[in-house]
């Protein structure tokens, strides 16, 4: 465990240098939102790219969930259940969040093709900015899901689940 802690401390020191150089967000805040400390588990010479990759993994997971809500073709039972809890305003919020996340994914394609430390730093700042801008709306969606879950989700009394 002490070895892992030293890797994390080394990573924090390296990040601090990059933070000063590129005016990056605070490590603690990024770690709280994106669990970037996991980058310390692997050695890398391209720290910002690895941090960006961890950050975008989370964004991508949320984006795929929203995608299944917006276009529920072959969606899971869970997705269909969640859809029943959302009203038209909630669905509009989901679409707006999705558009912001898709814009990030399009930008990522360009950044991912050729490594450039400054572009990686800029993208980390952009992900953070977008994430912070959607949190309130995301929490509103989750609140609607929770509030309406028991009211909208009913068991089918027949033998067929569909």
List, for residues 20-54, the tens digit of each pLDDT value: 999 999 999 999 999 999 998 888 899 999 999 99
In which domain, by residue range, is 86 found? 2-152
In a domain, 45, yes or no: yes
List, for residues 64-88, the tens digit of each pLDDT value: 999 988 888 887 888 888 888 888 9
The number of folded domains in the chain is 1
In a domain, 161, yes or no: no
What is the structure's pLDDT at 83?
83
In a domain, 162, yes or no: no
In a domain, 50, yes or no: yes
pTM: 0.85
Torsional class of 35: left (φ above 0), alpha (ψ -120 to 50), beta (otherwise): left
What is the structure's pLDDT at 64?
92
The string of DSSP letters for 17-46 reads: HHHHHHTPPPHHHHHHHH-GGGGGGS--S-
**Rounded CA separation 148/145 (Å):** 5
> Are the beta carbons of 131 and 33 closer than 8 angstroms?
yes
In a domain, 157, yes or no: no
**Comparing 111 with 5, which gets the higher pLDDT?**
111
**Rounded CA separation 36/29 (Å):** 10
In a domain, 38, yes or no: yes
List, for residues 89-136, the tens digit of each pLDDT value: 999 999 999 999 999 999 999 999 999 999 999 999 999 999 999 999
Position 154 confidence tier, pLDDT thresholds 50, 70, 90:
low
In a domain, 159, yes or no: no
């Amino acid at each position: 465990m002490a070895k892992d802690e030293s890797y994390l401390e080394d990573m924090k020191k390296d990040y601090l240098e990059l933070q000063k150089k590129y005016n990056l967000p605070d490590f603690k805040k990024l770690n709280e939102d994106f669990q970037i400390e996991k980058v310390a588990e692997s050695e890398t010479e391209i720290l910002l790219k690895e941090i960006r990759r961890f950050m975008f993994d989370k964004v991508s997971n949320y984006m795929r969930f929203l995608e299944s809500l917006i276009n529920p073709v072959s969606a899971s039972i869970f997705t269909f259940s969640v859809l029943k809890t959302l009203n038209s305003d909630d669905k509009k919020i989901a679409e707006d969040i999705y558009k912001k996340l898709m814009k990030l994914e399009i930008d990522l394609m360009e950044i991912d093709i050729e490594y450039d430390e400054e572009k990686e730093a800029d993208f980390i700042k952009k992900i953070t900015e977008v994430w912070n801008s959607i949190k309130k709306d995301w929490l509103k969606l989750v609140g609607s899901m929770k509030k309406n879950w028991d009211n909208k989700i009913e068991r089918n009394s027949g033998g067929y689940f569909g």
